Amino acid sequence: MDFTDRFCRFFHRRLSRRARLYTEMVTTGALIHGPRGRLLAFDPAEHPVALQLGGSEPADLARCARMGEQAGYDEINLNCGCPSERVQRGAFGACLMAEPDLVADCVRAMRDAVSIEVTVKHRIGLDRVESYDFLAEFVGRVAAAGCSVFIVHARNAWLKGLSPKENREIPPLRYEVVHRLKRDFPDLVIVLNGGLRSHESALEQLQHVDGVMLGREPCDSPWMLSEVDPRFFGELAPVSSRFDAVDGMRDYLLRETAGGVPPRAVLRHMLGLFNGLPGARRWRRSLSDAALLAEVGASALDLALEQIQGQHANLLPS
C-alpha cells in the first residue's frame, strides 16, 4: 500500500521483464465511486501486471474485475491478507479468511465476469490460532469456486493489537505450513510470500512451492530485481547497470512531469537504487530534497546522477 503505484511498477519493469507486478490494493468502493481512470491507469510496459482488489461484495467485485479486464490487466487478485483495522472495518482483507464461503462466492462472481485469471492472496491463519485445518478448509472451499492460484503470506494475521507493519514482522514465519499446503493440494499453484530478503532464500523455497512473491525488499532495494530474469528465467537482465536503469527512466520522468505529475511521485521509487554503495545517501538526499525539486523539477535526476557517477566509473555501462 502507498508504494507499488504505476510509477513504481514502471521503474521495476525496467529492472525485470519477467517478474509479475501487482498494484496496490484498490477497494471496490474507490473504483465504483472514485476516480476510476486514475486508479486503473498503467503503462503498457508494465505487463504482466495484476490488479489487486479489496472488497467482500460479490457483485461489486465482479463489476470491478470487469473494469480491470477492460483496462487491460492480466490478472485480478483478491486481497484476503491485509490485517489493518481500517480494512477490517470494511469487512474485507484478512478477516475474510473467517468466511471461506463468502470468499468462494466472491471468486465465483469474478470468474463468471472475466476471462483472465482470478487469484487470492491470504495468510496462513488468524490471530494466534495455528490450526492447519483452518487454512486447508479455506483453500479447499475457495479452490472449489474456481481459484487455482493462491499467494500465501506465511504468517498469521493478528487482527487486534498489531499495526500492519508489526503484522509483517511479529507473527512467526511458518514456511513449512505453506509447503504442506502444496503437498496437500498438488494441482493448485501455491506461491509463497513473507520474509524473503534474498534470491537465495527465494530459490530455496522454489524447491517446495510453485512461485515466490517478493514484497518489501524490492521496494527498499530495487536493484535486486535486475537479477530476477537471469536467476529465475535464464534470460539476460534488461539493464546492464544502475546507470542504465536511470537512463531508461529519463524520458518517462519528463513525459509524466510534463503531464502534471510531481517529480517526487516518480523519483521516490528510485531512492534505494544505490543502496549499499558509496554515495547512496547523497543520491537519496538529492532525489528527496523538496527545495531542489521545486527549483529544478525533473532535472534533479541528472543532478543526482552527476554527483554519484564519479564514484562509480566501474558501474557505468560499456
Segment 234-253 mean pLDDT: 96
Closest CA to 242 of 258, 227, 257, 256: 227
C-alpha 64, offset from chain centre: 19
Structural domains in the chain, sorted by start: 20-213 (3.20.20.70), 242-315 (1.20.120.1460)
Residue 140 has pLDDT above 80, yes or no: yes
How far apart, in Å, are the Cα atoms of 259 and each of 76, 252, 269?
A: 28, 11, 19
Phi-psi region of 268 (alpha: psi -120 to 50; beta: other; left: phi over 0): alpha
The rounded distance, in Å, linking the Cα atoms of 296 and 283 is 16
61-92 per-position pLDDT tens digit? 999 999 999 999 999 999 999 888 766 666 77
> Active site residue: 8, 80, 82, 106, which one?
82
pTM: 0.94
Amino acid at 247: D
Q: Is 64 a catalytic residue?
A: no
37-47 per-position pLDDT tens digit? 999 999 999 99
184-238 per-position pLDDT tens digit? 999 999 999 999 999 999 999 999 999 999 999 999 999 999 999 999 999 999 9
Contact 48, 73 (CB under 8 A): no
Amino acid at 44: P
All cell numbers assigned to 76: 485480478
C-alpha 307, offset from chain centre: 31
Any idea which residue has 490485517 for its cell? Answer: 83
Residue 126 has pLDDT above 60, yes or no: yes
Give the sheet arrangement for strand 117-126, strand by strand: 21-27, 49-54, 75-80, 117-126, 149-157, 189-193, 211-213
H-state helical runs in the chain:
6-15, 28-33, 36-40, 58-71, 85-89, 100-113, 132-144, 164-167, 175-184, 199-205, 216-220, 228-233, 242-258, 263-267, 280-287, 290-296, 300-309
Contact 193, 154 (CB under 8 A): yes
Write phi, then psi, for 18 (nearest 5 degrees): -105, -25
Please, what sign has the CA dihedral across residues 265, 122, 182, 104?
A: negative
Task: Read off the pLDDT band of 168 (50, 70, 90).
Answer: confident
Segment 27-34 mean pLDDT: 96
CB atoms < 10 A from the CB of 205, how many?
Answer: 20
Percent pLDDT > 90 in the chain is 86
Percent pLDDT > 70 in the chain is 96
Choose between 317 and 262: higher pLDDT. Answer: 262
pLDDT value at residue 169: 87
141-164 per-position pLDDT tens digit? 999 999 999 999 999 999 888 888
- With H, G, I as helix, E, B as strand and everything else as coil, classify residue 276: coil
Q: Are strands 149-157 and 49-54 parallel, antiparallel or unpaired?
A: unpaired
Residue 318 has pLDDT above 60, yes or no: no
pLDDT value at residue 86: 66
β-partners of residue 27 are: 54
Residue 29 has pLDDT above 90, yes or no: yes
